[in-house]
Structure 1
Amino acid sequence: MSIRLSRNLREGDHPASVPAPIFKLLQELLMVKAGCRRMDFLFFDDLGKRPYLVPALIVISSLAFLLLNVFGLTHGISYVLPHLLYFPIILTAYYYPKRGILFTLGLSLCYCALAFTVVAPTNAEMVSAIARSAVFVIIAAVVSNISGRMHHDTQMCRRLVSVVRSSGDAIISETFDGIVTDWNRGAEMLYGYTAEEIAGHSLFRIIPPDRQEEKRHLMERIRQGDVVERFETERITKDGTHIQISLSLSPIRNNRGEIIGISEIAHDITERQRFQKAILMEKEQWERTFDAVPDMIAIIDNQFRIARVNRAMADRLGISTAEAVGLQCHDVVHHTAVPHGLCPHRLLLTDGHSHSVDIHEENLHGDFFLTVSPIRDPDGTVAGSVHILHDITERKKMEAALRKSEERYRTVIENIQDVFFRVSRENTIVMASPSAVKVFGYGSVQDLIGLPITSLWKDPQKREELLDALKARNGAVQDWEAEFKKSDGSAFWVSLTVRLQTDEVGGYAGTEGIIRDISKRKKAEEALKSALKKLNMLSSITRHDILNQIMGLRAYLELSKEDLKGTKYEAFITKEDQAAEAIQRQIEFTKYYEDIGVNEPRWQDAGAVMNEALTQLCPAGVDVQVAVDGIEIFADPLIVKVFFNLMENSLRHGERVTTAQFSAEETGEELVIIYRDNGVGVSEADKQKLFRKGFGKHTGLGLFLSREILAITGISIVENGEPGKGVRFEIVVPDGAWRKTGL
């Protein structure tokens, strides 16, 4: 009967044995199973929140309705009042499903006892009372069954509601028109709209315009009963931010299984996609870097198969990077069927360590420095290796060339007559050629090694001057003359060509160079100087005697001129005196240039020499500017006479000279020293004869000797001035004969 009553409740078929109000209440309780939300509005559900009220209602109502039934039985009312007992029965079965039937049995016994004892019942009345008690039990069983399942479903429903409300994902219910019906807390956090703001509005407000047709297509799929899982798309939050989401859609069905809406679960994947994009970018960057490495790289597994190669390796093999994958490394690289015995990869698989070796591989066309490093799986087992081949073909060629060069260098050092030396930072000799034994008189080269370099100098202080010169001349000097000592203490002259050595930060690290014994040359120079000195003395005496004779001749010519004054011989005497005067000037002029070539050329400050010549001449009324500074020239010491002679010619022949200037210009590797004035200049006809011996209005030797002085060290002189606008003498100093100071 309980099963039939349950079916009647579901189908709405009201049995005559159950009062209409009770049947409606049972139907309402049954509807709780179909929708948990309906339960929230039941009056009895609110009563359950008061734990002492329900038991009190059950006890009071039971006693009250039993007393009313006693009253009814004593007054002959036995049909209506028993129905009042349904209230405590249903209340007990609803709130206490497991005790409802026991309570109803007890209440039924009480009712039957009253019906049989209060009045003397007829047989029909006794059957009616027992039937009512049976109905009470059936009603209690049905309510207890429905209530038990309802309580279970209610708890389940509440748990589901709690899960939905607390979910971090957005869970939304919507109609097929896109109208939002449910909007959980996760949706509020994801999209920024509260449930009150969005409920009853179209969901299309959070869908970008270019995605709305996509949404309609998905809705149509749900209408057909499909389920969409993990569909990645885009949405717009309340503040206008575009986010990426993973969308799952499923249909919502009613009790009859009809699809009435859409359930949508959205998970924010913006960070995940950003992370994935970052990983892809890193992967692409790694691949670009891998392919951009000029060294050849190959990843080999433990079966000698190529897992990957970079572009440099593939190009050297003559195949693409994809074609190389899976090939046997020994086959494609070495063209052998099996790896050779000393294969670094084989050794790595055996001992698990990295290996490095220089190899020559004909199939790769060169020499390489090979490094193999192990690749391990998560368990630490060697799964393969990374091969890196650095092309050292050029280095090998350079090493071979260096060995040959060292052999030639060693041959030169061992056979050189001059002494090659090298001095350390501590100023001790660390290297010397075998010739040093003969030059310095030591027993062997080893006797020299470790000695202070100053022990070879006659005057150690002179070496400090050499170091200062090295620093001032860009770290190199040539033909520096100094006196050294042999092992026996005897002094001798040497010529030094030295280069300064520096460390990584430019500090002093020693010197190296060549020592040449010039003792014989020095003796020859001294002998030559002695001979020249004697010749100069003879020349001076002879010049003095000639000048004395010329002075006497001119005195007698003056007396003869007085005696023959007024005669035709007076003119002859005048010409004779002029010739004697010319001879006298030429003899006197040779005094200034008798030392040409006597002293060896040396480096001289060009500006200082010009100022010295200016001081000697002191040209009155002429402003001479010297615009040459920081330049040294290698020339004969008499170069001061050249600058003197140029200024003297301006005074003698420039006629209207008021200004003159010395300047310098660099033209390629040469230096041009320019002297100009504002006089009458030199005519085109005279330019060709200007430097000839005897040309000119005075001695005819000044410019001639100037050119000879300059030519001693390869310096030339020309006149390129414009006639009428002053002279322009250009002194061309070749490369190597000039330098800048202070470098």
Structure 2
Amino acid sequence: MEKLKVLIIEDEWVVAKDIQVCLESYGYAICGIAATCKAALAMAAADQPDLALVDIILQEDECGIATAEELQKHYDLPIVFLTAFSTPEIMERAKKTAPAGYLLKPFRDKELITTIELALHKHQLLATIQKAKQDWEQTFDAMPDMVAIIDDQFRITRLNRTMADRLHVNPDEVIGRHCYQVIHGSDQPPADCPHTAMLANGRAHSMEMEEKTLAGHFQFIAAPIKDVDGRSNGSVHIIRDISERKQAEQQQKKSQAMLQAVIDGVTDAVTVIGIDYRILLANRISRAVHGDASLAVLPEFCYQHLHEQGSPCTGTEHPCPMQEVLRLKTPVTTIHHHPAKNGKLCPVELIASPLLDDEDNLVGIIEVGRDISERLRLEKERREMEIRLFQQQKDDSITTLAGGIAHDFNNTLTAVLGNAELAQMKTEPHGECGQHLQLIINAAQHMAHLTSQLLAYAKGGKYRTEFLHLNEIIAETMALAYKGKASGNKVISNLAADLGPVQADASQIRQMLVNIFNNAFESMIKEPGVLTVRSMNVVHDLAFETTMGRRCPAGEYVRITVSDTGTGVPDDLRQKIFEPFFSTKFIGRGLGLAAASGIANNHGGCILLDPAVAGMGATFQILLPRAKEVARPQPARRVKPGVLDILVVDDSREILDLLQTMLVAHKFTVTTCDNGPAALEFIRGGAPCDLVILDVQMPTMSGSEVYAKLKQLRPGIRILVNSGYDQESALADIDLEKDDRFLRKPFRFAEILLHISQMTARNTDHDKNDD
């Protein structure tokens, strides 16, 4: 076995010879002893060593580190530094050469041998790792797919040659950039980004899309890269060109679409059925047999689709077209009864023709079905249309009536009520005449209430809208109704704290709620029960139909659910309870629920009645469109607005804009400066300033210097110092006065307000005394 060769670079001959003797005794060969860099390079060129022992300080102040750098530049060998002393500067420079080891003189033979063996082993490991790295990189770059490594911040950390060439970029230029910028040319990931989905659940995801920057269709695959704890911190992003496959698929789709378009043009139902009863193709009319012409996935077998049964037709009720064609080998005509979308059976004439392959083998049938109940269906639709028209005409008549009442009847009631009250003012309240006048007033108010109820049904009574938070109104009206009619009943409320606002007429909303609550309490007169009221925010993704057949659009709603344990609403009365003048109570006027429904409708909402459940009472859902009102932040402690001039000093424009917007919203006078000199110039100009919000870390002039000069220019000025560092580090150069405060970023605005309140407490108290 060939001995390992060591080059000794040491200017002290005795030390070098001692090292030589030691190494040779352990089986190493010495290829030379050099005292200078030049000699060392010459010896290495003549007999390339496996390792070099290099003294850091050579003769005539020549540096062994430079010698090591030259050896590493020309030869791949490990370096072990020898030194009698070391300084931080020398050690720092030595580290840059990535030596395999250090030995501090004097050292023992075993220390020397151990260090050399470890250095050689380390060098061998590094060589193995480097070889594996090269093999991996060659494999990575040889992949025909575009491959990139992307971290959890969507930054590219590596990409292969295929991707670089396809993107026409230098790999080093895109490292660290966001993948969606480089690949898609956008400022955010695409909607179905597999990397986004992978980060969400830690599983591999893929998507297909056309990418214009790459001029083709591609499959994007994101496979997770996980750390030792199993958390996904990035992905292997594979981009595979599927343009040819997509072109073939598109051509196939075009051919299939052409065939589909041809049979869709047929006005009868066309269904192609295989010999095993499987549906191979169906046109638009066939797909609409059960009411959905856009049905994308049909049942697998014809008897499932056309007859809604689990096995082929037996032929006892009517001949099966497939069995007849198999038997006769000719077209057949038969009459079937297929389930229609209304749940009934409709007569269908079926004409089935043999479907043959290229060798004239029977492989299925082409079945054409014609619905001979079309005339009946049209008549049914006409009757339904007449009913809807009648309902619309009835509603229009009531609306016209309500409009006339609102104008004429209310005018008359106003005169009656007003004159009665005038007369009452001139009479003895407890006298006989005064009592009769009070009866007139009560009757007039009762009639006015009836009028408003009818008007609410017809027009909703929406006169003056404002942003309302319904929880307070719910609690108020529920208490009012409970006080009047809820003796012995229990009330449970669960109102969402984050309930969104609505834009509505407050008085009409109160009227609507009172009517609903009263109806619930009246249903529990015979046996006291429980009234449950809930409120919450809901989103309807699709338009929906109300109990009265009205359609409400999709969108965000505030939902109030009112449930009682009363008598409930029978199914045969569900369509009538919201009609005016319909009541199940002997003394009822039939306007309460009608008016409530009208108010909800006129506010863009509706009232729904949940399906009846025996013994469970009734549940009404009130839906009102959620308004887009921006909630105003509430400070932790209120500072009197308009009494403070505040200077904000920060080099971050985002923070300046944020604080200015918030403080101005609280009626403070705010001036912003993005550097220290500008702030000092502002103060020198004599502008009013009660408080300064000062950032510590700023360019041009540090926050500590600005703080000191502000105190010189205006002694006693209050300063709220803030920093992203901890208080001790941030205030290391600042002697913070007792009236000043420190606030660490990030902070809540409530904290800012609290500090302002505390720092200006005396001023605030003085203002209160002035008030």
TM-score tier by shorter-chain length is under 0.3
Q: Which has the higher helix share?
A: 1
TM-score, length-scaled by structure 2: 0.27
